[in-house]
Structure 1
Amino acid sequence: MNGDWLIRGRDGRLAAYAPGDDAVWCRAERHPGGPLLPPRRAGGDQRLHPGFAVGQGTDGYAHLVAWRPTKDGESGLVHSVHFRGHLAALDWLPIGHPNRRGERTGRPAVAVDSGGRAYVFVRNRGLGVHTINQKARGGWNAWHDLKGSRVDEELVAVTGESGLVELYATSPAGILRWMQEEPGARPVAAEPLPVRAVPGTLSALPTSKEATTLFYADPDGMLHAWRPDGDPVTLTPVPGPGPLSVLRCALDGHDCTLLAQRSASGRVAFAAYPTETESAGLWWTESGPQLPAGTRVSLTEDAEGRVVAASMTPDGVLRLARQKDEPGLALAAWQEI
């Protein structure tokens, strides 16, 4: 899963997306704050390869992207829109292959700009990056080569508070960046960040109208935060492998950045600090049961503004924990769904 797979729709219902049985499945709340409905297959009966990307626009709609087999030895990308988590998603629509044809080339990433247009990114056969985006009035533009060299498979796409799309990737040269300069335009390459970043540890969070904060781990196991107006800031040792889930939320009336990740102990670790004030420091606190390796964590806020944390094990077991009406980040007991 690439992207925030636990989201709140425009109607306030939470929806969790997960892979399984050659499909993408969605579990949505019956009503905001209510129990989750049984899993529902997204996009129809089309068979998919494992792995998918999800991105959400300001309209609350979820955009899903995945690879599907087309014929022997070949695959293509498909896209679907989910307007309401408790309703059926649109059927999967083919959007092609970055190299016209061939097998899968990398895990897709998707972000949605302020106009509701999806931007899909994927590593190509030459280990650069290709993108394709929706037109303003329906349909898709042609695939476009963003270049790049020796790009690692996992890409991170995000839409800043400005409504412009950003893309991040790791490579031996450091962290590569592509930025939209105006609405509707293709992202263009920006100056790379020359740091040692472990592939698969990038996370990005819009933290102001001017900036997105990028988080990454270095080979020594230290977590760093960076914004374009300064140097990377070393925060703390990472609790475990893989990307963080990051959320901007209000804690005790303060604008905070909340981080979560499955720790090396197997439990979910949380840390928070005042947004864009890394100098305040942060400390990890673990919560919930021990979970198997490969468990992913996602964060969102529900219709009442409470933090909701979700964990998804590799075999598809979903657990949720909601913030209690207490000071700080006090979570109720984790519930297996």
Structure 2
Amino acid sequence: MNGDWLIRGRDGRFCGYTLAPEGDAVLCRTERTPGGPWSAPRTVGGDQRLHPVLAVARSANGYAHLVSWRPTVPGESGLVHSTHFQSHLAALDWTPLGHPNKKGDRTGPPAVAVDAQGRAHVFVRNRGGGVSMRAQLEKGGWGPWRDLKGSRVHGELTAVAGESGLITLCASAPDTILCWRQREAGATPQEDKPLSFGARAGTLRALATSPARTTLFFTGEDDVVYAWRPDDEPVPLLAAAGPGPLAAVRCLLDDVDCTVLAQRASSGRVAFAAYPTEQESAGAWWTESGPRLPQDAAIGLSVDADGDIVAATVSPSTGQWLVTRRKDEPGLALRPWQPV
């Protein structure tokens, strides 16, 4: 899964998304009341059979946008999109988006971000090794596929809307990181000068960290987690807790704007680290929490209506969901993990 799969809706209730154990559908579970018990898993987007991949993004108004690949004819696939407006109601049926090269099989895991006008932007590696995108139009429907260029892209892309609503996209390639940024609302993202710095595929995570800037977190080839903002150099933050992807969120800890990172540690548990946002020089360190998790467990981070951190894990293979929240005390102390 790629993106913020743990999403707080407009009514304050959380909804989590995951792949079905068979990998051919997307499931969601929803809090019945904010902070209360959760519903049983239910299928998202109708009966369309999917491939085992999912990208999720939250819009500013709390809607969830989901993107996946579906099989079409033998040996070929196409991307599909769904919107979940209210977590306790059914999501829209999957809408076909086509293929970045018109036809063919899957080219890579997609990413999605939603701008300030509520328009979803879908990104995916194309057959040439670059990146293509397709975006919703302001008056409905979808624009054409656009080739953003780039080359030798591998692993998952990461896309995020900044506080301004403008979208940033990042991708890893051998010995470099590629970045595209929107210059104005509705515009096609433009490629920045590549960063000559290698990142491990599948570890990129972008987060809006100020009104004008987005920070990219990634694990370098030296197994160190770095923070990078365009026009600066990557800053080493701390040794990676494990080999998997990073989750990130901003929240207030003791009235300080902090960035919280989470990663499945080599021990199998969830490791957390926090530091004042954009102040990497303050340092950070991992603290492990919860039980050992299956290797396919995904970690989600969000904040509730009061601004307190909420963390969840889900394992598609076992169907195990766990949730924890911050304790009502200083620091990043968490309550015991509870099964959903």
TM-score normalised according to structure 1 size = 0.98
Note if contact 1:33-1:303 (Cα within 8 Å) is conserved in structure 2: no
Instruction: Look up the match of 2:294.
Output: 292
Residues in 2 aligned to 1:291 and 1:56: alpha-carbon distance in whole angstroms: 26
In structure 2, how many angstroms separate the alpha carbons of the residues matched to 1:213 and 1:153?
Answer: 19
Q: Which residue of 2 aligns with 1:63?
A: 65
2:229 is the counterpart of 1:227: yes
Distance in 2 of aligned mates of 1:313 and 1:46: 22
For residue 294 of structure 1, give the secondary structure of its aligned residue in structure 2: coil
Asked if structure 1 preserves the Cα contact closer than 8 Å seen for 2:31 and 2:37, the reply is yes
How many angstroms apart in 1 are the aligned matches of 2:116 and 2:252? 23
Shift of 1:230: 2.0
Q: How does 1:133-172 map to 2 (within 5 A)?
A: 133-172=135-174
Report the Cα distance in structure 1 between the residues aligned to 2:147 and 2:155, rounded to whole angstroms: 16
Alignment correspondent of 2:17? 17
Cα distance in 2 for residues equivalent to 1:196 and 1:173: 4
* CA drift at 1:39: 1.0
Contact 2:51 2:71 in 1 (8 A): yes
Root-mean-square deviation (CA, aligned residues, Å) is 1.0
1:52 is aligned to 54
In structure 1, C-alpha distance between the alignment counterparts of 2:247 and 2:84, rounded to whole Å:
22
Residue deviations 1:11-38 (CA, integer Å, cap 9, x gap)? 1110000001411111011121111111
Question: How far apart are residue 173 of structure 1 and its match?
Answer: 4.4
One-letter identity of the residue aligned with 1:10: R
Deviations 1:164-214 (A, max 9, x none): 011100002400011111101111111111102111111111100111111
**From 74, 78, 81, the counterpart of 1:79:** 81
2-side partners of 1:39 and 1:314: how far apart?
12
Whole-angstrom CA distance in 2 between matches of 1:265 and 1:27 = 27
1:323 equivalent to 2:326? Answer yes
Pair 1:8-2:8 in alignment: yes
1:335 corresponds to: 338
Distance 1:156 1:97 in 2: 19
- Retained in 2: the 8 A contact 1:123–1:153? no
SS in 2 for 1:193: coil
Residue 294 of structure 1: CA displacement?
2.5
User: Alpha-carbon deviation of 1:304?
Assistant: 2.7
- What percentage of residue pairs aligned between the two structures are identical? 61
2:32 aligns with one of 15, 21, 30: 30
Q: Which blocks of at least 5 consecutive residues in structure 2 are unaligned?
A: none
Residue 116 of structure 1 is matched in structure 2 by 118
CA distance in 2, matches of 1:91, 1:314: 22
User: Which residue in 1 is equivalent to 2:304?
Assistant: 302
- Structure 1 Cα separation of the partners of residues 237 and 327 of structure 2: 27
Distance 1:215 1:144 in 2: 26
CA contact (8 A) 2:175 2:199 kept: no
AA paired with 1:332? R
* Amino acid in the other structure paired with 2:161: T
Contact map agreement 1:164 1:179 (CA 8 A) in 2: yes
Describe the SS at the equivalent of 2:281.
helix
Structure 1 residue runs of 5 or longer lacking an equivalent are none
Give the structure-2-normalised TM-score.
0.97
Other structure's SS at 1:279 match: helix
1:271 equivalent among 270, 273, 282:
273
- Report how many residues are paired: 337
The offset of 1:219, in angstroms, is: 1.4
